[in-house]
Amino acid sequence: MSHITDPADCQTMTEVREGVDDIDRRIVALLHRRFGYMDAAARIKTERTAVRDEWRKADVKAKVREEGERLGLDVDLLDRLYEDLIETSIAHELARWDGIRA
């Protein structure tokens, strides 16, 4: 793997693209692990209605917002991204829950 240039040090679009591609690979790996936890939740939860947990959804979004603020990110953008991620995760977990018990 080639050296990845820090964003502040990028001088070319090639360096920028290499950095973005590296980050995207890492994000996909993290999503794979996150969805593994959704699989575990589907296995552990005994009731289908427990899959959608609005309190937990709000808790996750609040923690993300807090971390985003700490890092100086656009927290409204993070909120929209996590809304999609959480809803996709719930759909995945429901499908797994149904599949386990079919």
DSSP 12: S
Tell whether residue 45 is among the known ligand binding residues: yes
34 appears as a binding residue in the annotation: yes
Domains in the chain, number: 1
**Residues found in the chain:** 102
Whether residue 82 is contained in a domain is answered as: yes
Q: Looking at the domain assignment, is residue 72 inside a domain?
A: yes
Judge whether 2 lies within some domain.
Answer: no
What is the chain's pLDDT, residue by residue, as a tens digit (102 residues)? 569 999 999 999 999 999 999 999 999 999 999 999 999 999 999 999 999 999 999 999 999 999 999 999 999 999 999 999 999 999 999 999 999 999
What tokens does 20 get? 């973005």
Per-residue pLDDT at 101: 94
Question: Does residue 96 form part of some domain?
Answer: yes
Q: Is residue 95 part of a domain?
A: yes
Q: What is the phi/psi pair of residue 50, to 5°?
A: -75, -15
Give the C-alpha separation, 8 to 3, whole Å: 14
Q: Phi/psi at 20 (nearest 5 deg)? A: -65, -45
∠ Cα 32 24 86 (to 5°): 50
Output phi, psi for 74, to 5 deg.
Answer: -75, 100
The verdict on residue 1 lying in a domain is: no
Domain hosting 77: range is 7-100
Quick check: is 62 in a domain?
yes
57 annotated as belonging to a binding site for a ligand: no
> Was 26 annotated as part of a binding site?
no
CATH number at residue 58: 1.20.59.10
Q: What is the value of pTM for the model shown?
A: 0.91
